[in-house]
A = this chain, B = another copy of it.
Amino acid sequence: MLDANEQMAETNRRLFADQNVFVLNVMSSPGSGKTTTLVKTIERLQTLGIQCAVIVGDICTRNDAVRLAATDVPAVQINTDQFGGDCHLTAQGILKALDGIDLSIIDLLIVENVGNLVCPAEFDIGENARAVILSVTEGEDKPLKYPLMFRQCHVALLNKTDLLPYLDFDATTAVANIHEVHPDMPVWPMSAKTGDGFEPWIEWIQAMIRQ
């Protein structure tokens, strides 16, 4: 099963390379703020002249695609309940969703994966890079409990920092835990709600696209 997915992921990756599109797979637990983060990310990238599109995975509902489409970029929703309520996106699902996106006019395709800190990390979808969002409300120990996700991703966003005054969350410990499973991984504290802390993340995306 995973081998068939890996073959399809390679097909996707060649297609993206041919069209000169950079693909970023964004993963996290449910409710960590993926969609809010991506709406604000896309708004900033648009002001920099970067053409984006987004594919959003959820078991059910089209809520996130509606929120992302408000940024005026192409937004395609995948609902995995057609596939038995799959807990992750597959390379095959991404290929099908590409029917709704003209790759020739975009620079960056962002994939918002199903909210799940376990399974999506196991499925290559043909992306070029992966980001994990950890909300500060989730606790410092999550990188140790879900190590595959933090190992597989290239960067981590520490979201909802606006709530830090009301939490017993130790950001230093959280970063140390991330580095225990993935040494030197960039970790950027931010608040998708207030917009604070987006600069290193936006600069990293720009650098990735320019490569």
- Say if the beta carbon of A60 comes within 8 Å of chain B: yes
Partner of A144, one of B31, B60, B146, B163: B60
CB contact under 8 A between A119 and B63, given known A31-B142, A137-B163, A163-B166 = no
- Say if the beta carbon of A118 comes within 8 Å of chain B: yes
Interface of A, helix, strand, loop or mixed by DSSP: loop
- Copies of this chain present: 2
Closest to A117 in B: B30
Task: List the B side residues contacting A166 at CB < 8 Å.
Answer: 162-163, 166
CA–CA, A147 and B144, complex, Å: 28
By the criterion of a CB under 8 Å from any partner CB, how many residues of chain A are at the interface? Answer: 33
- Say if the beta carbon of A114 comes within 8 Å of chain B: yes
Partner of A139, one of B31, B116, B163: B31
B59 engages A142 (CB within 8 Å): no
Interface string of A105-143 (1 = CB under 8 A from B): 000000000111111001000000000000101110110
Instruction: Given contact pairs A31-B142, A85-B118, enumerate 4 new A-B contacts (beta carbons under 8 Å).
Output: A30-B146, A61-B145, A137-B137, A163-B163
> Which A residues lie at the B interface, using CB under 8 A?
29-31, 58-61, 63, 85, 87, 114-119, 122, 135, 137-139, 141-142, 144-148, 160, 162-163, 166-167
